[in-house]
């Protein structure tokens, strides 16, 4: 079984047939291990999705281990000189932490929960980087106790707080998150590099330089470099090159003012992937070539040594490795629109409601001879905005009991899931070489009741 390198996966521009185009065809949105058999059976990792649905119930999330590992390797090949840190916020479970650690990646965490889960799984703490615009005392205490490699300073107040928490005789490596004044990303709610949002310390007005000076005054803190994160679903290399030039400029000013050359530069992640046929993507190899050139040229002009690069892909590693499988509960035809309602929705995937994201679901488990009908796939929750896919082609004979599969479902689905309407979160089932295993079990009504301890 082989997994396509990330840089060789083009956009899917073929029209979708009533049951969906061949998942294994060129430019597929699906994991590279996907195959299709007669009668509409779709297999991922050698396991039929309908078999998983029957065995584990629906909704169910399927995660292709080979695809995750292949994408980790593609990033390492594209950036051989850099540290690659998987962004745990996209999705984290014990098995996934184990996979990315085995593939040589570090981890970018945003909470004590993510740090503790990874470390108790056996992930090396010194390969973890802790983020957060509002780190709690518990976040910092656990990160320091477990020995995370770096903490990213996001506000001036954190500087003294981290130093005090380190304790006498200790020393903690930190980075300063810089907001470079760049607007990039697929939606305004996921753009984090501009000056007018909650993350980081702005270049404008000298806020970042002031924070750097304060860090350097703390003997218990070791400033290793600068960090920035421009946003999510970025499909153009250009914003990263602008960020490189601006951050190297700041590094030069730090050298001139304080006499030190910072050894690390973290450009974050946010690399865009395709969710529907024809969507643009960001090729890691192209990004690496552009960043490498811009960094070398900028450092040469500034007479600085080239810092060690850090990259934080999350969605681009795990997103295309996941498939969500739902069962149709109802089909309703109204004037001008047909609704196909499934047994999941915004509780397991809030992204369409939050960002207007569009997906390309397809019928699986049977072959339909019917013509395509444009429908809206909706969830089961009591919100008009609970829409999973708007204006998508499905067979006109789609009916209750059918199975629908949604590719590119590995990132920011279960990571952002809730138990809205007291509907438990779905399980995660891994597939590899014709075998499946549960990574995260289904959240049951008993689980939800157990948390309700008062009368």
Could you confirm whether 374 is annotated as catalytic? Answer: no
How many Cβ atoms sit within 10 Å of the Cβ of residue 40?
A: 19
Determine whether 328 is exposed, middle or buried from the number of CB atoms within 10 Å of its CB (0-12, 13-18, 19+): buried
Which of 62, 91, 50, 67 shows the shortest CA–CA distance to 437?
A: 62
How many Cβ atoms sit within 10 Å of the Cβ of residue 49?
A: 25
Q: Is 351 annotated as a binding residue?
A: yes
Q: Running DSSP on this structure, what letter comes out for residue 424?
A: P
Q: Is 31 annotated as a binding residue?
A: no
Q: Is 355 annotated as a binding residue?
A: yes
Q: Is 312 annotated as a binding residue?
A: yes
Rounded CA gap, 348 and 16, in Å? 25
Determine whether 37 is exposed, middle or buried from the number of CB atoms within 10 Å of its CB (0-12, 13-18, 19+): exposed
Q: Running DSSP on this structure, what letter comes out for residue 366?
A: S
- Residue 442 sits at the vertex; the CA angle it makes with 365 and 119, to the nearest 5 degrees, is 120
Which of 59, 35, 60, 64 shows the shortest CA–CA distance to 48?
A: 35
What are 72's two structure tokens? 């980790």
Which of the following is catalytic: 72, 93, 374, 382? 382
Determine whether 383 is exposed, middle or buried from the number of CB atoms within 10 Å of its CB (0-12, 13-18, 19+): middle
Residue 343 neighbours by CB under 8 Å, 6+ apart: 58, 59, 326, 327, 329, 380
Rounded CA gap, 287 and 295, in Å? 12
Asked whether 212 and 262 are in contact (CB, 8 A), the reply is: no
Could you list the residues known to form a binding site for pyridoxal 5'-phosphate, using ranges.
270, 312-315, 412
Could you list the residues known to form a binding site for substrate, using ranges.
315, 351, 355, 383, 412
Could you list the residues known to form a binding site, using ranges.
270, 312-315, 351, 355, 383, 412
List active site positions: 382
């Amino acid at each position: 079984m082989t997994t396509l390198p990330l840089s060789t996966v083009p956009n899917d521009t073929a029209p979708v047939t009533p049951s969906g185009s061949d998942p294994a065809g060129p430019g597929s949105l699906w994991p590279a291990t996907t195959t299709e058999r007669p009668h509409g059976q779709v297999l991922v990792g050698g396991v039929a999705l309908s078999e998983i649905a029957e065995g584990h119930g629906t909704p169910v999330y399927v995660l292709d281990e080979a695809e995750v590992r292949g994408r980790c390797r593609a990033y390492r090949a594209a950036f051989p000189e850099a540290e690659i840190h998987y962004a745990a916020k996209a999705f984290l479970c014990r098995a996934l932490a184990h996979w990315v650690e085995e593939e040589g990646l570090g981890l970018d965490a945003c909470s004590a929960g993510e740090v503790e889960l990874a470390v108790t799984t056996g992930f090396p703490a010194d390969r973890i980087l802790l983020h957060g615009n509002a780190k709690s005392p518990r976040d910092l205490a656990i990160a320091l106790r477990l020995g995370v490699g770096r903490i990213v300073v996001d506000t001036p107040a954190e500087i003294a707080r981290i130093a005090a928490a380190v304790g006498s005789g200790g020393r903690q490596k930190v980075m300063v998150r810089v907001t470079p004044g760049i607007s990039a990303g697929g939606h305004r709610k996921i753009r984090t590099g501009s000056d007018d949002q909650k993350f980081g310390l702005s270049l404008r007005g000298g806020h970042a330089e002031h924070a750097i000076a304060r860090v350097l005054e703390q003997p218990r803190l070791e400033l290793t470099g600068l960090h920035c994160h421009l946003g999510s679903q970025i499909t153009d290399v250009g914003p990263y090159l602008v960020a490189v030039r601006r951050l190297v400029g700041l590094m030069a000013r730090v050298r001139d003012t304080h006499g030190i050359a910072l050894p690390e530069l973290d450009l974050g992640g946010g690399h865009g992937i395709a969710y529907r046929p024809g969507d643009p993507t960001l090729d890691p190899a192209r990004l690496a070539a552009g960043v490498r050139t811009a960094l070398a040229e900028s450092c040469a002009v500034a007479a600085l040594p080239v810092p060690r690069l850090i990259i934080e892909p999350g969605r681009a590693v795990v997103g295309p490795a996941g498939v969500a499988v739902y069962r149709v509960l109802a089909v309703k035809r109204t004037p001008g629109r047909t609704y196909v309602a499934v047994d999941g929705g915004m509780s397991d995937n809030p992204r369409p409601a939050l960002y207007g994201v569009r997906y390309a679901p397809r019928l699986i488990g049977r072959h339909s001879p019917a013509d395509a009908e444009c429908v809206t796939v909706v969830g089961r929750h009591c919100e008009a905005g609970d829409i999973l896919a708007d204006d998508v082609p499905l067979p006109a004979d789609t009916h209750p009991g059918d199975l629908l599969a949604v590719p590119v479902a590995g990132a920011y689905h279960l990571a952002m899931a809730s138990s809205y309407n007291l509907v438990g979160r779905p399980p995660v089932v891994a597939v590899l070489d014709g075998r499946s295993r549960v990574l995260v079990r289904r959240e049951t009504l008993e689980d939800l009741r157990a948390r309700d301890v008062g009368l």
